[in-house]
Amino acid sequence: MKSHTEYLVFQTQKRREYVNITEWVASAVAASEIAEGMVLVSAMHITAGVWVNDAEDGLIGDIDEWLEHLAPYRKNYRHHRTGEDNGDSHLKSLLVHHQVIVPVTRGKLDLGPWQQVYYAEFDGQRPKRLVIKVIGE
């Protein structure tokens, strides 16, 4: 078994932003020369996440509204007593989770017809890392 690791760095323009990273993940898979295995895509920060879903703008807007409804930005999170102001960002990250695993088949991402990989930033405007680790044969 072999592995290949790459890191991406994001510094989003907005506090909340969703970045389609499918091509970067596919590029890492190609560079790995792994034909059969899996790729782990993991945000390395506790206020970011990764998901697989449709790349349709209306859906991205719906997801953003849903997350804001479930974990709205507000000033009275207990976490803010530490001097932070991103309590909602931590909760949003928990809702979408911080990583996904995607199959690799015949050297390519084995995604469904509409599936894309997204990096979800909930406390942006500063550098954040993401790791892509391809494992297989």
CA distance 83 to 91: 17
Cβ–Cβ under 8 Å, residues 16 and 117: no
- The model's confidence at residue 63, banded by pLDDT at 50, 70 and 90, is very high
Domains defined along the chain, listed by start: 2-74+84-136 (2.60.120.460)
Please name the residue that has the structure tokens 């993991």: 42
How does pLDDT run across 84-125, given as a tens digit for each residue?
999 999 999 999 999 999 999 999 999 999 999 999 999 999
